Amino acid sequence: MDKEYKIPKHVGIIMDGNGRWATKKGLKRSAGHAAGYKTLKKLAVHILNRGVKYLSVYAFSTENFKRDAEEVNYLMDLFVNKFREDKNFFMKKNIKVIFSGLKEPLRNDVWESMQEISEMTKNNDGGIFNILLNYGGQNELVEATKKIVNDVITDKINIEELNTENFYHYLFQDLPPIDLMIRTSGEVRVSNFMLYQIAYAEMYFPKVYFPDFNEKEFDKALDVYNKRDRRFGGIKK
């Protein structure tokens, strides 16, 4: 890789198309989610090995609770099983696992498995893997607003001190802005994904379903990112 090759600091992925991937193969939608996790595990290691410092992935939106109970339960069981099974894997890879989202109405076992893996990996420094679970971007902004109001009325901050930089402290996780947002499956929508953090993100919408979004596909996304001209509202010198 040449010296000029740019590696985004923070990558966000909307992992879309698990259901369609499975249906196309004549399988149940749940098989698509299982395949999606297999892809995700390899991809997370690859992406952080490429030098990306933060990876945020959309595993379950608050709106996903509207799906059939069978699918919701399958996903919740998958979360519990994989967080428990793969704690040691992420320890070995030196990856810190964190979460963004609300506690309610998650099942206790799901919440506990999230606490366990984040507690176990909290001192790892080989990259941050942020999993969005029971997450919504608008919710995140509403929750941030509540925290700010609380800090103002308890005199922790002066309202005039609030700015676009320190606003990040009030989000579910205090992470840098997203540089590259990827949504698989060909859908071209943001779907409530990290609304504050994607303000200047480059966006990439590959047509592959998430289970097929492998390491090679991610490297293609990096190449596309490298051809983009990021100006952040300014003009090119």
Quick check: 36 binds ligand FPP (CB under 6 A)?
Answer: yes
Window of 78-86, 142-150, 163-171, 229-237 that interacts with ligand FPP by CB under 6 A: 78-86
* Distance in angstroms (rounded) separating the CA atoms of residues 197 and 175: 8
Quick check: 131 binds ligand FPP (CB under 6 A)?
Answer: yes
With CB under 6 A as the contact rule, the residue among 12, 13, 16, 87 that binds ligand FPP is 16
* Minimum CB distance to ligand FPP smaller for 10 or for 29: 29
* Minimum CB distance to ligand FPP smaller for 16 or for 202: 16
Helix (H) or strand (E) holding 105: none
- In the complex, residue closest to ligand FPP by CB: 19
Q: Minimum distance between the CB of residue 160 and ligand FPP, rounded to whole angstroms? A: 40
Measured CA distances, 192 to 48, 60, 114, 137, 144 (Å) = 24, 11, 22, 5, 15
Measured CA distances, 46 to 10, 41, 66, 70 (Å) = 14, 9, 32, 32
* Distance in angstroms (rounded) separating the CA atoms of residues 17 and 35: 11
Question: If you count DSSP H runs as helices and E runs as strands, how many of each does the chain have, helices first?
Answer: 7, 6
Window of 11-19, 100-108, 118-126, 194-202 that interacts with ligand FPP by CB under 6 A: 11-19
* Minimum CB distance to ligand FPP smaller for 57 or for 175: 57
With CB under 6 A as the contact rule, the residue among 7, 46, 53, 64 that binds ligand FPP is 64
- Torsion angle defined by CA atoms of residues 169, 174, 175 and 177, in that order, rounded to the nearest 10 degrees: -30
Quick check: 40 binds ligand FPP (CB under 6 A)?
Answer: yes
The whole-angstrom distance between residue 29's C-alpha and the CA centroid of its chain comes to: 21
With CB under 6 A as the contact rule, the residue among 20, 46, 50, 53 that binds ligand FPP is 20
Active site residues: 16, 64
